[in-house]
Structure 1
C-alpha cells in the first residue's frame, strides 16, 4: 500500500542533511522568552533578534498590551465565529474604520491572517474569465490565492515594468478583467517595487492593480502607507493588502479599497467567510499599535537609519548584501555548505537571523535574511556585525571588504 507520506521522503532527506550539517533544525527555533523587542532567550542564551520582521518594535508596545488586557477582560478571549456569522464585534468594525482612514480609503476588510488576506482577495476577485499577472518573485500566499481562483495566471520578470507591459499587451482578451499583483517590499531580498512605473502600465493597459504592502506598511512613505505612498501613486492602486504581523507586531491581515463592491467581496471570499475572526484582545492591541505608529513617525526614521548602518557594515565586512537599503537585508552566500554552518555559528554566538535555502530563494543561492528594527541600538547593530565577521571567518566564507 502506498503511504500518504511517501511524497515527503525527499523533504525528509533534505531536512536530515541540514540538521546533520549544523546540529540543529533551523526551521524549529524556539524563542523561549522575549526579553525585549530586540533580545530573546534562545537555547538558554540572550540572543540578538535580527530575523523577526518586528520593524517598529511594537510587539512590546505598552499601549497595545494594556489594550489587549482590557479587551480580554471586557469581551472575552475569542469570538467563536466567522465575520459573516457571530464573529463581528464593534471592535472589528472600529479597527476596519481606523485602517481605512489611515490609508484614506473608502472601506477595509480585516482578515485573521495576512496570508488569508492575499488568499481571500485574489481568489474572490479573479474569476475563470479573468487574468492574474503576478511578479515572478511573489509571496507564497499570492501564488496560493491564484491557485484557489479560476483565473489564468501569467508571471512577469521580477520588478520589470517593461516585461509586465509586454505580457499585458499580448493578451487578446477585451472581455476579461486583468489584475496585476505586486509587493511593496519583497520579503526575501528587500527589493522595493518600482511603483510609479507599474502604475503607468496599469493606466495604459486598463488593468486593476493590487499591492501587497506587508513589509512596506509602516516602513515606506511619509505616513508609513507603503511603497505606493512613497512614489506618489496611491490613487492608481485599486487594492492594498497587508498584515499586522510586521510593523504592528500583532497578527491579522487587511485589504483597503475605494471600490464600493468591497462589501460584496465579503460574501464571496472563502477565507473570510469560513474562518473564525480575530479575538478581541488582538483587535484591540492592533488598533493601539496603529495609534503608536501614527504618533511616532520617528520610528520610521530610526528604522531606516538602522537599516543603513547594518547595510554599510555588511559592505565593509565584504559580505554580499542586498543592493538596496531597506529593513530587509539578505546576505547571499555561494553554497549551502557555507550557509548552514554560518547560520548555526551566528546563533551560537548570539545572533538569530533567517536561513533561506534553494529552491526557495530567488536565484538558487542560500540567503542569511536579516530584518532590522527601529528599536535596535547602534551598539546592538555593531555587535551583530562583529559576530557576522567572526562567523564568516570561522566558517570559511570568503570576504571582499570594501576598498578603503
Structure 2
C-alpha cells in the first residue's frame, strides 16, 4: 500500500539532514519572552528581533493594548460564530469603519486572517470563462485562492510589464479579467511597478487587486501602500491587506469602492464559514489602524533605517536581493542551504533573529530575510550589521566590517 507521505520524502530528507547537522532548527525556534517589538528572550538570552514583519512596532503600543484589554473584559474571549451569524460585534463594525477611513474607500470587509482574505477574494471574483492574471511570484494565499475557484489562471514573469501586457492581449477581449499584483513581494522585498502595470491592466479592461500586506503603514503619504505612492488609487478596484504586519495583531481585510462589494459577504466561503476574530483582536486592530494614520515620524524613521542597513550590509560584502532598499525587507542571499542554516545559527548565537526562508518558498536560491521595525534605533541597526559581519566571518563568508 502506498504511503501518502511518500511525495514529501525529498523534503523530509532535506529537513532531517539539516536537523542532523548539529545546527539549530530554524523552523521551530521558541521565543520564551517578548520584551518589546525589537527584543525577545530565547534560551535565557536576549536577542534582537529582525524578522517579525512588525514594521511599525504596534504590538506593544499602550493604546492598542488598552483597547484589547477593555474589549476582552466587556465582550469576552471570542464570538464563537461566523460574521454572517452571531460573529459581528460592535468591534468588527468599528474595525471596518477604521479601514474605510484609513483607505478613504466606501467598503471594508474583515476576515479572520490575511490568508483568508486572499483565499476568499480570488476564489469568487472570477469564474468559468473568466481569467485571473497574476505575477509568477504571487503569495501562496493568492495561488490557493485561485485553486479554489473556476477561473483560468494566467501567470506572467515577475514584475514584467511587457509580459503582463502580452498575456492580457492574448485573452478574449470580451472575457472578464482580474489582474492580481502585490505592492511589496515578501521574498526579497522588491516592489511592483504599479503605475505601469495598472495602466496596462486598465487598457485591457481588467479589474485590479493589489495586495498591500507588506506595504501598509509606511508606503505613501498616508501609509496606504505602494498603490498610493504610485498615484493609482483611483484605478485599483480592490486592496487586500493583513493585520499581522504593520497593524500588529492578526486578521485580514479587503477594501474597495465597488458599489456591489457587499455581496462578497454572502458568497465568500472563508468569510461565511469561519468564526470571526475575537473582540480583543478587532479592538486592537481598529486602534492601531487609526494611530497609523498619523504615524509620519515612524514611516520616515523606518525608511531611513532600512536604507542604512541595506547600504551597510552591501558595503560589508553581503549579496542582497535588491540593488537598493525598496522596502523594509532586506533579503541576504546565501550560496547554499547548509551555509544558510549555519549563518542563521551563527546569528542566533550573536543574538540576532532573522528568517531562514524554507527552500520550497524560494526555488533556486537560499535566503536569510530581515524585516526592520520602526522601533529599531540607529544604534540597533549598527549593532545588527556588526553582528551580521561576525556571523558571516564565522561561517566563512567573504565579508568584513
Aligned to 1:85: 85
SS at match of 2:324: coil
Q: Does 1:274 align with 2:308?
A: no
Asked if the contact 2:82/2:273 (under 8 Å) is kept, the reply is yes
Q: CA deviation at 1:357?
A: 4.3
Q: Against the structure 1 CA distance between its residues 156 and 400, is the aligned structure 2 distance closer, same or farther, given a 3 Å change threshold?
A: farther
Asked if the contact 2:209/2:239 (under 8 Å) is kept, the reply is yes
Aligned to 1:143: 143
Aligned to 1:120: 120
Asked if the contact 1:212/1:242 (under 8 Å) is kept, the reply is yes
Aligned to 1:179: 178
Aligned to 1:32: 32
SS at match of 1:309: helix
Q: CA deviation at 1:324?
A: 3.0
Aligned to 1:338: 339
Give unpaired runs (5+ residues) of structure 1: none
Give unpaired runs (5+ residues) of structure 2: none
Deviations 1:232-265 (A, max 9, x none): 1111100000101000100000000011211111
Q: Does 1:208 align with 2:218?
A: no
Q: CA deviation at 1:285?
A: 0.4
Equivalence map 1:212-231=2 (5 Å): 212-231=211-230
TM-score by length of 2: 0.97
Matches of 2:400 and 2:389, distance apart in 1: 12
Equivalence map 1:279-294=2 (5 Å): 279-294=278-293
Aligned to 2:381: 381
Deviations 1:254-292 (A, max 9, x none): 000011211111111000000000010000000111122
Aligned to 1:102: 102
Q: Does 1:259 align with 2:258?
A: yes
Q: Against the structure 1 CA distance between its residues 103 and 95, is the aligned structure 2 distance closer, same or farther, given a 3 Å change threshold?
A: same
Q: Does 1:188 align with 2:180?
A: no
Aligned to 2:196: 197
Matches of 2:187 and 2:302, distance apart in 1: 18
Aligned to 1:243: 242
Deviations 1:331-390 (A, max 9, x none): 11122222111111101110000012434216x110110000110011111111111101
The count of aligned residue pairs is 399
Asked if the contact 2:302/2:373 (under 8 Å) is kept, the reply is yes
Q: Does 1:350 align with 2:351?
A: yes
Q: Against the structure 1 CA distance between its residues 118 and 22, is the aligned structure 2 distance closer, same or farther, given a 3 Å change threshold?
A: farther
Q: Against the structure 1 CA distance between its residues 258 and 22, is the aligned structure 2 distance closer, same or farther, given a 3 Å change threshold?
A: farther
Q: CA deviation at 1:205?
A: 0.6
SS at match of 1:77: coil
Q: Does 1:131 align with 2:131?
A: yes
Deviations 1:52-111 (A, max 9, x none): 000010011111100000001111110000011110112111211210121111101000
Aligned to 1:17: 17
Question: Alpha carbon RMSD of aligned pairs, Å?
Answer: 1.3
Matches of 1:373 and 1:48, distance apart in 2: 11
